[in-house]
């Protein structure tokens, strides 16, 4: 599930939360710090006088009007509705098309007169489900007008039940089982029930701490609670977690009395949220600043606050600038890379061409043919250079001198000698059978392949021989 904050866009670090009713007023300042928050109560009064509210408002609105803080309030739960809708459709996109119709038929008034939205859309085994949140536009206008009468124009108008559930989970994360959060106000009560999967149901009543002094009011209060809990209570035997919050939650005697009234629900683990008095004000402010699975602001759907629009525009503009900058950087990097690569290509080609021209001596060498043309040119040059190279190779003179010396030392006589770089043919005579063999051995030592033919001595008693040698191997 996407978790976004209501004030998505501006990187706000401060939000003011308001909990305004006829018998009670609270203003808190919440500052965001590294994913967490710190809350500070600015005003908390019972039966507030317009003067005290106007003074608090002037402090709050000064910062909020500069766009440095969000001013957040909630629509009273009895003036807003939240329903779980399910549609037997396998596709969320198809379900989205039928949510308004499904919601419309459940309402006693036309949907067109409401500001509404759908949260927590997800697929289930039976199809698709969502939380429909709505309030009548006239109630929203009245709420905005009430705030305006105290010189306050909230940027965020949250849903009370969602804000209470969200903040309760933030301050005391739910593990398993069900939780009932009860906001006990001075002149109203709000119930929210849910489990680890999320919000299950809610209810609101105009009976608050003041009204609950009467026994009949307590009975009514108890019956409403039982109806809500029984409608959503799962059949497991885990005790119900009950969390108290709101200005009435500080009256521990009243809370104990109400808990005992709920004894028919079975075992209950009752606790009170810390600093319960400004809980709702804190809840709406925190939800505005921190990411939340079900962010909601009625003002997005009805008379959006101009500053919110500006913040959103600012956020989107920042996104557009980031995309523009990233695009520019990428384009510049790619241009740079291409220039660099092309320059290297050109340098390489120029080096190859220059070297090929230098080695081959050709004025122009076609690209891609450099190696072939150079090889051909060198083959042609080799023919002209052959006599020069030959001058530096071991000469035939050396062989001839060695041969003449050897024949003299061996006492051989030469009749004829024909000598080429690759062949020696020597005919001669020796006074001994083995002397010509000595010459052949010497030639073999110089890597010639020697064949020696000898004839037996006849009248002159000389051994005639013919020595044939192939070029040094």
Partner 1 sequence: MKNSRHLLAWAIPATLLLLIGLGWTMLNVTRYAQWVSRHEAREATLDRLRALEQAAQKDKAALHAFEALTQTQPPALQPYIQSLLPSVRVEVRRRDTVPATGDWRAQRMEAQLDGVLGDDLGRLLVRLEKARPPWRLVECTLQASDQTADAINATLILEGLERK
Nearer of residues 9 and 276 to partner 1, judged by Cβ: 9
The sign of the CA dihedral 253, 255, 259, 262 is positive
For residue 415, the minimal CB distance to partner 1 (Å) is 5
Residue whose tokens read 């305004």: 20
Interaction between residue 310 and partner 1 (CB under 8 A): yes
Q: Which residues of 365-396 are buried (b: 16+ CB within 10 A; e: fewer)?
A: beeeebeebbeebeeeeeeeeeeeeeeeeeee
Q: Which stretch binds partner 1 (CB under 8 A): 47-55, 90-98, 310-318, 451-459?
A: 310-318
Among 420, 456, 458, 460, which residue interacts with partner 1 (rule: CB under 8 A)? 420
Crossing angle (nearest 10°) for helices 435-445 and 396-410: 150
Interaction between residue 345 and partner 1 (CB under 8 A): yes
Interaction between residue 1 and partner 1 (CB under 8 A): no
CB-based burial label for 89 (10 Å; 0-12, 13-18, 19+): middle
The interface with partner 1 within residues 211-250 (CB under 8 A) comprises: none
Nearer of residues 109 and 321 to partner 1, judged by Cβ: 321
- In sequence order, which residues have a C-beta less than 8 Å from that of residue 47 and are 6 or more positions away? 23, 24
Interaction between residue 397 and partner 1 (CB under 8 A): yes
Interaction between residue 149 and partner 1 (CB under 8 A): no
- In sequence order, which residues have a C-beta less than 8 Å from that of residue 92 and are 6 or more positions away? 121, 122, 123, 128
> Could you give the CA distance from residue 267 to residue 183 in angstroms, rounded to a whole number?
20
Interaction between residue 400 and partner 1 (CB under 8 A): yes
Interaction between residue 197 and partner 1 (CB under 8 A): no
Among 231, 341, 343, 346, which residue interacts with partner 1 (rule: CB under 8 A)? 341
Nearer of residues 174 and 352 to partner 1, judged by Cβ: 352
Interaction between residue 268 and partner 1 (CB under 8 A): no
Interaction between residue 323 and partner 1 (CB under 8 A): yes
Interaction between residue 390 and partner 1 (CB under 8 A): yes
Residue whose tokens read 């004894």: 263
Contact in structure between 22 and 187 (CB atoms under 8 Å): yes
For residue 377, the minimal CB distance to partner 1 (Å) is 9
Q: Which stretch binds partner 1 (CB under 8 A): 1-9, 20-28, 64-72, 333-341?
A: 333-341
Among 413, 431, 433, 434, which residue interacts with partner 1 (rule: CB under 8 A)? 413
What are the Cα distances from residue 344, in Å, to 257, 337, 340, 341, 447?
Answer: 86, 10, 6, 5, 52
Interaction between residue 148 and partner 1 (CB under 8 A): no
Structure tokens at 467: 């020595």
Contact in structure between 305 and 47 (CB atoms under 8 Å): no
Interaction between residue 409 and partner 1 (CB under 8 A): no
Q: Which stretch binds partner 1 (CB under 8 A): 293-301, 332-340, 431-439, 447-455?
A: 332-340
Contact in structure between 167 and 287 (CB atoms under 8 Å): yes
Among 38, 216, 392, 458, which residue interacts with partner 1 (rule: CB under 8 A)? 392
> Could you give the CA distance from residue 343 to residue 363 in angstroms, rounded to a whole number?
24
> Could you give the CA distance from residue 256 to residue 324 in angstroms, rounded to a whole number?
61
Nearer of residues 90 and 421 to partner 1, judged by Cβ: 421
DSSP label of 472: P
Structure tokens at 88: 């037997």
Interaction between residue 405 and partner 1 (CB under 8 A): yes
DSSP label of 473: -
For residue 453, the minimal CB distance to partner 1 (Å) is 18
Residue whose tokens read 């808190």: 28
Contact in structure between 140 and 157 (CB atoms under 8 Å): yes
For residue 439, the minimal CB distance to partner 1 (Å) is 14
The interface with partner 1 within residues 368-387 (CB under 8 A) comprises: 370-371, 374-375, 378, 381-382, 384-387
- In 3D space, the residue among 443, 419, 415 whose CA is nearest the CA of residue 429 turns out to be 415
For residue 413, the minimal CB distance to partner 1 (Å) is 7
Interaction between residue 349 and partner 1 (CB under 8 A): yes
Among 214, 313, 366, 434, which residue interacts with partner 1 (rule: CB under 8 A)? 313
The interface with partner 1 within residues 56-115 (CB under 8 A) comprises: none
- In 3D space, the residue among 364, 345, 339 whose CA is nearest the CA of residue 353 turns out to be 364
For residue 359, the minimal CB distance to partner 1 (Å) is 5
Structure tokens at 102: 């499904």
Q: What is the DSSP string of 152-164?
A: ---SEEEEHHHHH
> Could you give the CA distance from residue 208 to residue 185 in angstroms, rounded to a whole number?
5
Q: Which stretch binds partner 1 (CB under 8 A): 27-35, 153-161, 277-285, 412-420?
A: 412-420
Nearer of residues 147 and 403 to partner 1, judged by Cβ: 403
Half-sphere exposure of 167 (CA within 13 A, CB side): 35
The sign of the CA dihedral 44, 50, 51, 53 is positive
Interaction between residue 416 and partner 1 (CB under 8 A): yes
How many residues at the interface with partner 1, by CB under 8 A?
65
Residue ranges binding partner 1 (CB under 8 A):
309-310, 313, 316-317, 319-321, 323-324, 326-331, 333-334, 337-338, 341, 344-345, 348-349, 351-352, 355-356, 358-359, 370-371, 374-375, 378, 381-382, 384-392, 395-397, 400-401, 404-405, 407-408, 413-421
């Amino acid at each position: 599930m996407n978790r976004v904050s209501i004030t998505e866009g501006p990187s706000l670090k401060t939000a003011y939360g308001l909990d305004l009713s006829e018998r009670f007023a609270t203003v808190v300042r919440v500052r965001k710090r590294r994913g967490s928050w710190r809350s500070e109560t600015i005003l908390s009064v019972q039966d507030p006088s317009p003067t005290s509210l106007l003074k608090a408002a002037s402090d709050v609105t000064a910062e909020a009007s500069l766009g440095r803080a969000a001013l957040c309030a909630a629509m009273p739960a009895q003036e807003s509705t939240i329903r779980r809708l399910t549609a037997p459709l396998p596709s969320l996109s198809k379900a989205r098309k039928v949510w308004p119709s499904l919601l419309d038929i459940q309402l006693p008034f036309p949907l067109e007169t409401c500001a509404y939205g759908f949260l927590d859309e997800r697929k289930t085994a039976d199809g698709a489900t969502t939380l429909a949140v709505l309030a009548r536009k006239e109630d929203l206008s009245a709420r905005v007008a009430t705030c305006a009468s105290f010189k306050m124009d909230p940027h965020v108008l949250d849903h009370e039940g969602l804000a209470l559930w969200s903040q309760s989970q933030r301050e005391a994360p739910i593990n398993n089982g069900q939780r009932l959060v009860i906001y006990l106000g001075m002149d109203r009560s709000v119930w929210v029930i849910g489990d680890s999967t999320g919000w299950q149901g809610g209810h609101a009543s105009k009976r608050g701490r003041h009204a609950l002094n009467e026994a009949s009011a307590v009975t009514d209060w108890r019956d409403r609670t039982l109806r809500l809990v029984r409608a959503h209570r799962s059949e497991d035997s885990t005790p119900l977690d009950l969390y108290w919050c709101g200005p009435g939650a500080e009256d521990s005697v009243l809370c104990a009395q109400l808990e005992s009234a709920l004894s028919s629900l079975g075992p209950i683990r009752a606790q009170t949220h810390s600093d319960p008095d400004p809980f709702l004000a804190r809840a709406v402010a925190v939800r505005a600043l921190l990411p939340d699975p079900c962010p909601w602001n009625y003002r997005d759907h009805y008379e959006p606050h101009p500053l919110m629009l500006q913040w959103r525009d600012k956020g989107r503009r920042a996104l557009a600038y980031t995309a523009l900058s990233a695009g520019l950087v990428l384009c510049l990097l790619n241009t740079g890379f291409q220039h660099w690569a092309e320059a290297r290509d050109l340098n390489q080609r120029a080096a190859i061409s220059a070297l090929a021209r230098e080695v081959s001596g050709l004025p122009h060498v076609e690209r891609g043919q450099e190696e072939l043309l150079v090889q051909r040119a060198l083959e042609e040059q080799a023919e002209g250079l052959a006599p020069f190279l030959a001058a530096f190779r071991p000469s035939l003179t050396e062989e001839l001198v060695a041969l003449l010396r050897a024949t003299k030392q061996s006492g051989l006589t030469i009749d004829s000698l024909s000598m080429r770089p690759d062949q020696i043919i020597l005919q001669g005579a020796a006074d001994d059978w083995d002397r010509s063999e000595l010459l052949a051995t010497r030639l073999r030592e110089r890597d010639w392949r020697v064949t020696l033919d000898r004839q037996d001595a006849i009248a002159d008693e000389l051994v005639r021989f013919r020595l044939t040698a192939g070029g040094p191997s």
